[in-house]
Amino acid sequence: MLSKKMEKAFNDQINAELYSSYLYLSMSACFSAMNFEGFAQWMKSQALEESVHAMKIYHYVIERGGDVTLQPIDGPDTKWDTPLAAFEAAYAHEQYVTGRINDLMNLAIKEKDHAATIFLQWFVSEQVEEEATADGIVKKLKLVGDKGNGLFMIDRELGARTANFAALAGGGE
C-alpha cells in the first residue's frame, strides 16, 4: 500500500510526464511548421515515450492500492525560433524531470518504501539516457549552426527514430 505522500507525489509525476508529452508534441508541431519533418518525427516519438512513462506510473499507483487523481495539464510553449532553441529547451526540461525523479526517489527512501525505490530505479536510469540524448543533439546543432546542409543532415538522422513499443512498455530495448 502506498502512503498518501507517495500517492500524491506519483500523481504529480503522472501530470509532469503528461505535460512532457504535450511539450514534445508542441515542439513536433513547431518543427512541422518549419518544414523539418525529421525533427518533428523525433519529437512525436518522444511525446509517445513520455505518455508511456505516465502510464507506467499510473499502473504502478493502482497496483499498489493507491488512487490515481488526474490533474489539469498546463499548456506548453508553442514556438521556438530554431531547432537549437527547441532542443535546448528539451534538454533543460529533461534536467527538470531528473530533479523531479530524484525528489520522488528521496521521498521513497524517507518513507522506507522499498518497492517504490525499485520501481523508480528504472526512471533514474531512463533520465540519464534522456539527458544524454538531448545534450548530444544540442551539441550537434551547435556545431552545424542554424542553416545549411548540416542542419538538414541532422533532420534526416532524427527522422529515422521510431517508437519501440516493446521497449516503451518495459519489454527491453
pLDDT in tens, 72-123: 999 999 999 999 999 999 999 999 999 999 999 999 999 999 999 999 999 9
> pTM value?
0.92
Q: Is the pLDDT of residue 172 over 60?
A: no
Q: Please give the backbone phi and psi of residue 46, each rounded to the nearest 5 degrees, phi first.
A: -65, -40
**123 Cβ contact list (under 8 Å, min separation 6):** 53, 101, 104
Residue 172 lies in a domain: no
* 126 in a structural domain: yes
CATH number at 123 reads 1.20.1260.10
Asked if 104 contacts 85 with a C-beta cutoff of 8 angstroms, the reply is no
Would you say residue 170 lies in a domain? Answer: no
53: left (phi over 0), alpha (psi -120 to 50) or beta: alpha
Boundaries of domain holding 16: 4-162
- Total domains, the chain: 1
Write out pLDDT tens, residues 29-57: 999 999 999 999 999 999 999 999 999 99
Residue 168 included in any domain: no
Name the CA radius of gyration of the chain, rounded. Answer: 17
Does some domain include residue 145?
yes
The verdict on residue 61 lying in a domain is: yes
Whose CA is closest to 102, among 69, 127, 134?
Answer: 127
